[in-house]
Amino acid sequence: MNVDDVVLSFTPGSLTLLNIVLGLIMFGIALDTSPSDFRVVARHPKPFVIALLAQLLLLPAVTFGLTMILPVTASMAMGMILVACCPPGNISQVLTHRSGGNVALSVSLTAVGNLVYIVAMPLSIAFWGSLHPTARTVLEDVSLDPGKMLLEIVLIIGVPFAIGLLLRAKLPKIAARAHPIVKWFSLIALVAFILVALVGNWSVFIQVLGIVVLVVTVHDAVALALGYGTAVVGGLGTRERKAMTFEVGIRNAGLGLGLVFAFFGGLGGMAIVAGWWGIWDIVAGLVVAGLWARHTKKRTGSATGDASGRSAVEAS
């Protein structure tokens, strides 16, 4: 079976449900975002600049290199590129907290980063995809329109995010009560959707299970390592390194899956890579965060590695 020739089956209702879930995820992020989160970035731009460079430039470039090394088909390579060009996922904040990292920085990076990705994502996908010797055939077959993708991303990311920010500003008490409900409901709904999607297309998934697990595991590990490495090179502290690791390593693969069906006709290799990534990065992230917190606590007596539990960024 050539996964490049396979199209996964989804009903229009399922795709509408996926878009609603993705919108809820962005709405939940906005409910936990305040003007101070943007001011933190303005006052301390260094971590944000490092994270943005790592996410927009380094991660897609390294991913491009991985697609040339790993035994992937054209559609799988395009799926890897798509995931690498996705914005950070909101689970990064949960993992940062679990690891004892700088949650305030994580929230700020996710909030500002998602706004940047509204414009950057379609351009990045088109750029890196068109450079790839095999994946570019996928773009040629679908005649990708970055402008149309931008509109789709605005509707999925921009509109729910703006509504969430408005609710947070006008009705902060209601937003505070709604945030944990929306955050966890949308995350569980997304995981459930991906699992149902994989089960519903099990005959296809099982035939490429081995290579997909290998590719996504390697890709995810490299993304996490890239986040940590750039933080180390940038001279950031322990808590900021933890935040950076998950901001770069955790991607909104659910959004990528939605775009696969919206613009690539549910192409098999792309959909399976994005779908499995959405499951695996949560599992891998939880393991890394738990082990990291335990290691830091054993070494310093605190999961944060700081007796006060605060970083320079938070204290300012």
Q: What is the CA radius of gyration of the chain?
A: 19
Beta bridge partners of 306: none
Candidates 189, 293, 248; CA nearest to 48 is 248
Q: What is the pLDDT of residues 107-160, one digit of tens each?
A: 888 878 888 888 899 899 999 999 999 998 888 777 667 777 788 888 887 888
Q: How confident is the model at residue 310 (pLDDT cuts 50, 70, 90)?
A: very low
Is residue 20, in this structure, part of any structural domain at all? yes
- Check which CATH number belongs to the domain holding 127 and give it: 1.20.1530.20
Calculate mean pLDDT across residues 269-292.
89
Is residue 74, in this structure, part of any structural domain at all? yes
Is residue 298, in this structure, part of any structural domain at all? yes
pTM here is 0.82
Is residue 315, in this structure, part of any structural domain at all? no
Is residue 316, in this structure, part of any structural domain at all? no
Q: How confident is the model at residue 314 (pLDDT cuts 50, 70, 90)?
A: very low
Q: How far apart are CA 2 and CA 5, in angstroms?
A: 6
Is residue 22, in this structure, part of any structural domain at all? yes
At residue 165's C-alpha, the angle toward residues 161 and 169, to 5°, is 170
In the chain, the number of structural domains is 1
Candidates 262, 231, 236; CA nearest to 249 is 231
Please report where in the chains the tokens 């936990």 appear, as a residue. Answer: 32
Is residue 313, in this structure, part of any structural domain at all? no
Distance linking the first and last C-alpha atoms of the chain? 57
Q: What is the pLDDT of residues 16-42, one digit of tens each?
A: 787 888 888 888 878 877 777 667 667
* Domain housing 105: 3-305
Q: What is the pLDDT of residues 197-238, one digit of tens each?
A: 777 777 777 777 788 899 999 999 999 999 999 999 999 988
Provide the 10 A C-beta neighbour count for residue 296: 21
Q: How far apart are CA 189 and CA 14, in angstroms?
A: 12
Candidates 273, 204, 211; CA nearest to 1 is 204
Crossing angle of helices 172-200 and 159-170, in 10° steps, is 150
Q: How far apart are CA 303 and CA 285, in angstroms?
A: 16
Is residue 279, in this structure, part of any structural domain at all? yes
Q: What is the pLDDT of residues 153-179, one digit of tens each?
A: 888 878 888 899 899 989 989 999 998
Asked if residue 44 has pLDDT above 80, the reply is no
